[in-house]
Structure 1
Amino acid sequence: MSPKQQRGEATVERALEAALFVYAREGEQGFTVSAVTRAGALSPGSLYHHFGNLDGLVHALVQRWLERLMTPLATALLEADSAREGIRAAVRAYLDFVRDHPDAALLLHSATADRHGMAHAKELRDAQEARLSPLAAWLRHRIATGELADVSPSLLESLILGPVVATARRHLTLGDTDLDEAARELPERIWSAVRG
């Protein structure tokens, strides 16, 4: 890799770190190009060069952290010996991510990420396709064996992750939800809703 490419990668990394820092500290209202460039000691030109605009920066940031959330979640699910254990492992992996990366979790569960996700749903899904295909196959297999309810994989995904996402949002915004309690309680309640 050339020195110019290395500088470019370092700039992208600094911009993404600064963007997450600004979002976590200032929220959506304070998430501006000038705030990010100040926090990352970047020029506005370099930000525009690498990301195009603020939406491009949000896209790159959401993509980065979605991947960092989905990797351990997928691993946990796919390595489980049963559907029940897979659900338990996936719930724990998700809640562990929220605990270990609160700033990124706040971004991923924000109105900013929701709007971005709605506007770029297919693009985000396509970018995660390599990771999501094995999960869909895992769901289809578990449906075929009778372990999971015979409903569409997309509905199962909502039934499994919906309560976890809602719990994470409540924890991040209100702070009145204990993640350890959620990790103990949610898997069995979710299992009751999706078992075959």
Structure 2
Amino acid sequence: MSPKQHRGEVTAEQLLDAALRVYGESGEQGLTVSAVTSASGVSPGSLYHHFGSMDGLLTALLMRWLEQLLVEMVTALEQSDSARTGIRSLVRAYLSFIRDHRDAGLLLHSSRADELGMQQAKQLRDAQEARLTPLSAWVSRHVASGEVAPLPVSVLESLILGPVIGASRRWLTLGDIDLDEAADVLPDRIWRSIDADAE
């Protein structure tokens, strides 16, 4: 990598880091070119050069944190020796990630993230294919082994992630959920909904 490329990567990282700080402090309405460039010390021209627009910056920020969350989830599943322990590990990894990265969690569970997900579902899925494939493969493998109910993968993903996403959103926005309690309770409840023997 040339020194110029390295400087470019450092500048892009500075902008992404600053954008997350601004988002955490002021929400999406506070995420302006002025706020991000002031927080990062980077010129507006550099922001436009690297991301094209504030929308481009926000999309890149969402993708950065989605990828990190998916890495945590896949790692949790791959270190588990059964479907049931995989669910427990996945739930704990997800909730720990949200607790440890609250600002990123707010962004990932925002209406903007939902909007982007609906508008660009195929592009997002394609961009994260390397991360999503192991999740789908894990589910399919445990359906084939007879541990997990033979439901469509999309339905199983909803049954597994729906309660975790719901608990995360409540913790992030209302604060009326104890994440430790959720990490203890949710895995067994989720498991009952996908256990092949429960049918």
Q: TM-score range by the shorter chain?
A: over 0.9
- What's the counterpart of residue 119 of structure 2? 119
CA RMSD of aligned residues (A): 0.9
- What's the counterpart of residue 73 of structure 1? 73
- What's the counterpart of residue 99 of structure 1? 99
Q: Give the conservation status (yes or no) of the 8 Å contact 1:84–1:191.
A: yes
Per-residue CA distance 1:111-146 (angstroms, 9 max, x = gap) = 121112222211111111111112211111111121
How far residue 190 of structure 1 moved from its aligned partner, in angstroms, is 0.3
Range 123-132 or range 85-94, more displaced: 123-132
- What's the counterpart of residue 178 of structure 1? 178
Range 165-174 or range 137-146, more displaced: 137-146
Aligned length: 196
Distance in 2, Cα, partners of 1:112 & 1:40: 22
Q: TM-score, normalised by structure 2?
A: 0.96
Distance in 2, Cα, partners of 1:135 & 1:30: 35
Amino acid paired to 1:127: A
Identity percentage over the alignment? 63
Q: Give the conservation status (yes or no) of the 8 Å contact 1:78–1:135.
A: no
- What's the counterpart of residue 133 of structure 1? 133
Distance in 1, Cα, partners of 2:11 & 2:67: 20
Distance in 2, Cα, partners of 1:156 & 1:32: 38
Distance in 1, Cα, partners of 2:183 & 2:66: 20
SS at match of 1:151: coil
Distance in 1, Cα, partners of 2:112 & 2:78: 30
Moved over 3 A (4+): none
Q: Which runs of 5+ in 1 are unaligned?
A: none
How far residue 78 of structure 1 moved from its aligned partner, in angstroms, is 2.0
Per-residue CA distance 1:62-110 (angstroms, 9 max, x = gap) = 1110111110111111221111000000000000101111111111011
Distance in 1, Cα, partners of 2:161 & 2:88: 11
- What's the counterpart of residue 193 of structure 1? 193
Distance in 2, Cα, partners of 1:187 & 1:88: 5
Q: TM-score, normalised by structure 1?
A: 0.97
Q: Give the conservation status (yes or no) of the 8 Å contact 1:87–1:160.
A: yes
Alignment of 1:1-196 (within 5 A): 1-196=1-196
Q: Give the conservation status (yes or no) of the 8 Å contact 1:69–1:94.
A: yes
Per-residue CA distance 1:24-60 (angstroms, 9 max, x = gap) = 1111111111111111111111000000111111111
Amino acid paired to 2:156: L
Q: Which runs of 5+ in 2 are unaligned?
A: none
